[in-house]
Structure 1
Amino acid sequence: DPSHMAEAVKQYSRRGYTWLKYHLSPFENVFDQLEAMQKVAPPGFKVQFDVTMGGTDDHTPDLLIRMARFPICGAFEDPKLEKDIDAYKELRNRVRVPILYHHTPLGATFEVVRRAADGYMMGHAKIGTAIRKAGLFGELDLPFMLQNVGGEITRTMTAHMHAAFKTATWHTHCDAETWRDDVVTRRIDPINGLIPVPEKPGLGVSIDREQLERLKKQKLPKQAKWIIKTTYKNGTRMYNIANPDESIFMVRPDRRKLLPFSYDAPLSSEWWDDDGSMKYREMFARITKQGVVLVKPGAKD
């Protein structure tokens, strides 16, 4: 929902963040989202768009060039199939916004020497691997980032590493800001996109032992499946089942090989949680049998 994306920009910028990363999803129109975010974004706030290596029928160069016209558009992550190194290099030459290479097929070696991207991402790399790659990036004067998803401990560790690496000048992605609870005694929001590197011994954070024990005992409820109801501007309706165990479906529904998708389709979507109604059960059964349900404009579901 574009309004939700706009609210995310407002909340993140209010807390001191200057970057927001999210995966494009063909269940929403990316230009509707861009317009909504641009209206509320403070000057300098940027969005990193993870294209998840494609999966739609869009002409990627055209899509990215059009998106790049929005000032809030800051970078594109994995815009093409990871093995197509030459396609990354071509996009880098055609698109004015930086291209980030995350899932490098050769482990950020030949791709780096080939100058296939403007920046590189090391996702959950072992510390030794990150150190070695940082040496390569530093020698070639190429910016990169570490993406280590976790809480405040993970973010603090990543901050130490970024501070030590010569060209780790891109923002880092962690997710700590989305956690309601954590196991440290103090949580830090950034100031103008920056967080201080702690100077205390170790990582410089203190563990809240009581909180740690409480969270260790906490049992998370299993999330149920739900229905995605998508409405096209011509009145056509599409119904899919979202499965928490198949989270990639939200950004790569093409994996089910049901029908073609686009990030620029004239549509919007809403979630339909199980409300216990007969209508929900009937639709859920239809989708389970057919894979996806399409309803003509004006027809009953």
Structure 2
Amino acid sequence: MNLEIKQVERIPFSVPFREVPARNMVRELPHWTLFEICRVTLQSGIVGFGETMQYYTWGTVSDAAVEKCIGCNAAELMWDDSLGAGLQMALFDAVGKANDVPVHRLLGAQHRDRCFLSWWDIDMPAEDWVLECRQAISEGYTAFKTKARPWFDLDHQCKVLCETLPPWFDLDLDFNSMLVDAPRASRLLPEIEKYSHVKLYETPLPQDDVRGNNIVRTKTNVAIAMHFGVPPIMTALKEEVCDGFVIGGGASKVVRDATLAAAANKPFFLQLVGTGITCAFAIHLGAVLSHARWPAVNCHQLYTHPMVKPAITVSNGLADVPEAPGLGVELDEETVERFRLPEMPPKPYPAPKLLLAIRWPSGASSYYTHTMQYWEDFTAGRLPLFPSGVYLESIPDDGSSEWRDLQERAQRAPVHTGSRAGG
């Protein structure tokens, strides 16, 4: 079989969010709708495909990467992470199809025939968490990863959500280091573990705070996950800063990091983000990595369309590993054409015409227009962290000059008031 690469086609497209994610992702990640399909054609006529989430990926596909591939053997290049996500994925798909084997056969010895998957959502009001978990459960999921943020009352969120959950459903709370320091984390994390559904805390502190993370780990019975590589793996193991890891990136990096985690007997979850296309590739990786024991995060549940046929299905928290050649799924060509763009637009952040209010329990309010504004204020110590009773809301444009004036002021700098100005 001739594995020489004849052609690489790149197709930009935008796939919509579902309703609940859409109204929450707009604050921080409106650009997560933008993707690029890579379609690789071999001289033999075999076609492989993959995708890149253009503005959130471990590696975009460049013109130079495409040029590097033309005329080369796909099997010799498929482990090259520098090619970018979509192109690497497409090469694995093409080589698998050419050899009539599923991608996991190219990645290593199969360890499992079903992989753990988690539902994912960004931070949102408790009522939206309830809606999302209800849908997750209806679709066969048993775990939910979400964001713990200081602009929502985390205890209230967990209380409202956990009252609606069956006892077997697990929660993973990702702080993205927003507890900031060990004293604060040592107080809050044990309080939240009273909710028995909470099974994992992710990155409660900045990961390079080795001493702080070591202290925090001794203060809670909930497992702590940290992204592999910071601090360096030998430091992380020696100083016992976490119970397991988050692993992502290109195929070579993932397999290398997963091998080291397995040697240390540390569990991890894979985090490769995209539509059903990326999810399928991640499932093949999970099939061969022995310590991929925690539910993988792929975020494909955010979207109205899976982009593959058949769609990934889950039962009892597990998805079957595809056994058909290549990725084992087909690209939904009709939907690709429906959502195709003439070219990749610039990153659409911040989203226009947003006015966001953080409501403090004291009665004061702080106004912003996108997440990165208040993220910086929280992490820099300019705002209270995780106070009881805090919440964030979006103030709709009522067409008034008052709304427009407040929104324009908040674009330039945060607006802090002692009352609920603006709604």
Q: Answer whether TM exceeds 0.5 for this pair.
A: yes
Partner Cα separation in structure 1 for residue 412 and residue 304 of structure 2 = 38
Deviations 1:164-212 (A, max 9, x none): 1111111100011111123212112311110000111111111122222
Alpha-carbon deviation of 1:285? 3.3
What runs of 5+ residues in structure 1 fail to find an aligned partner? none
* 1:108 and 2:233 correspond: yes
1:19 touches 1:171 (CA, 8 Å); kept in 2?
Answer: yes
Residue aligning to 2:221:
96
Q: 1:201 to 1:113 in 2, by over 3 A?
A: farther
**Partner in structure 1 of residue 341 of structure 2:** 217
Shift of 1:35: 0.5
Pick the aligned partner of 2:327 from 203, 210, 216: 203
Which structure 2 residues correspond to residues 80-229 of structure 1 after superposition, within 5 A?
Answer: 80-102=205-227, 104-123=229-248, 125-217=249-341, 222=348, 223-229=351-357
State whether structure 2 residue 405 is matched by structure 1 residue 277: no
Aligned runs of 1:1-16 on 2, under 5 Å?
A: 1-16=125-140
Q: What whole-Å deviation, never above 9, does each CA across 1:86-141 have from its counterpart, x for those lacking one?
A: 32222222210000011642453431344321110113x12111111222111121
Equivalence for 2:410: 287
- Cα distance between partner residues in 2 of 1:218 and 1:14: 37
8 Å CA contact 1:55, 1:254 repeated in 2: no
Q: Secondary structure at the match of 1:230?
A: strand
CA distance in 1, matches of 2:296, 2:243: 15
Structure 1 residues 59 and 105: CA distance shift in structure 2, 3 A? same
When residues 296 and 25 of structure 1 are mapped into structure 2, their CA distance, relative to the original with a 3 A threshold, is same
Pair 113,55 (structure 1): closer, same or farther in 2 beyond 3 Å: closer
DSSP 3-state at the match of 2:391: strand
Distance 1:19 1:8 in 2: 11
For structure 2, which runs of at least 5 residues remain unmatched after alignment?
1-124
* Alpha carbons of structure 1 residues 263 and 103: separation in structure 2 relative to 1, 3 Å: farther
1:52, 1:78 within 8 Å by CA — same for their partners in 2? Answer: yes
Shift of 1:83: 0.6
Q: The residue matched to 1:158 in structure 2 has which SS?
A: helix
Distance between the aligned counterparts of 1:284 and 1:178, measured in 2?
28
Aligned-pair identity in percent equals 23
Return the letter of the residue paired with 1:270: E
Letter paired with 1:95: T
What's 1:236 paired with? 364
- Paired residues of 2:367 and 2:414 also in contact (CA < 8 A): no
Q: Which moved more, 1:25-34 or 1:276-285?
A: 276-285
Cα distance change, pair 24–96 in 1 and its aligned pair in 2 (3 A):
same
CA distance in 1: counterparts of 2:304 and 2:227, whole angstroms: 28
Displacement of 1:32: 0.8
* Contact 1:240/1:293 (8 A) holds in 2: no
Q: CA deviation at 1:76?
A: 0.6
Counting matched residue pairs gives 294
Please tell me the residue identity of whatever aligns with 2:195. Answer: F
For the aligned residue pairs, the C-alpha RMSD in angstroms reads 2.5
Is the alpha carbon distance of 1:218 and 1:42 closer, same or farther for their aligned partners in structure 2, counting shifts above 3 Å?
A: farther
**How far apart are 1:142 and its partner, in Å?**
1.0
Partner of 2:200: 75
Q: Measured at CA, do residues 179 and 107 of structure 1 come closer, stay the same or move farther in structure 2, by a change above 3 Å? A: farther
8 Å Cα contact 2:364-2:416 kept in structure 1: no
Asked whether the 8 Å contact 2:322–2:329 carries over to 1, the reply is yes
Pair 258,213 (structure 1): closer, same or farther in 2 beyond 3 Å: same
Letter in 1 for 2:133: V
For 2:186, the aligned partner's letter is P
One-letter code of the match for 2:418?
V
Match of 1:265 in 2: 388
| Residue in structure 2 matched with residue 45 of structure 1 by the alignment | 169
Q: Give distance in 2, aligned partners of 1:254 and 1:234.
A: 17
Q: Which amino acid aligns with 1:105?
A: V
Does the CA-based 8 Å contact 1:29-1:268 persist in structure 2?
yes
Distance 2:201 2:411 in 1: 34
Partner of 2:63: none
Cα contact 2:129–2:161 (8 A) shared by 1: yes
